[in-house]
Amino acid sequence: MNNLNVLNVEKRRKAGHYEILGETYAKLEFFENGWNPYSRFLDIDKVDLIVRRRDSKKSVYKEIQVKYGKLYECTSKWEKALFDVTSWRFFKESEFDEFVDDPNFFIAYVLSDEKSYKGDIFIFPARAFSNLLHSAIRSKDKVKVYISRLCGSNDWVLRKVHNFSTIDNNTTINVSQFHRNFKLLLG
Q: What is the pLDDT of residues 145-185, one digit of tens each?
A: 999 999 999 999 999 999 999 999 999 999 999 999 999 99
* pLDDT for 19: 82
Write the DSSP symbol of residue 16.
-
pLDDT at 5 (0 to 100)? 53
Per-residue burial over 153-178, b = 16 or more CB atoms within 10 Å of its CB, e = otherwise: eeebbbbbeeeeeebeeebbbebeeb
Phi, psi at 115, each rounded to 5°: -80, -40
Closest CA to 182 of 120, 103, 123: 123
Res 2 pLDDT > 70: no
Cα separation values, 40 from 23, 32, 46, 94, Å: 11, 20, 10, 23
- The mean pLDDT of 6-16, rounded to a whole number, is 57
pTM, full prediction:
0.90
Per-residue pLDDT, 74? 97
Rounded (10°) CA dihedral 49, 55, 57, 61: -20
CA 149, distance to chain mean position in Å, is 13
**CB atoms < 10 A from the CB of 151, how many?**
14
- Residue range 3-28: mean pLDDT, rounded: 71
Least Cα distance to 176 among 167, 163, 164 occurs for 167
CATH 3.40.1350.10 applies to domain 2-186: yes
Residue type (1 letter), 13: R
Q: What is the dihedral of CA 137, 113, 42, 141, to 10 degrees?
A: 20
- In tens, the pLDDT along 74-115 reads 999 999 999 999 999 999 999 999 999 999 999 999 999 988
Which of the two residues, 28 and 3, has the higher pLDDT score? 28
Can you give the pLDDT at residue 42? Answer: 73
pLDDT in tens, 27-63: 999 999 999 999 977 777 889 999 999 988 899 999 9
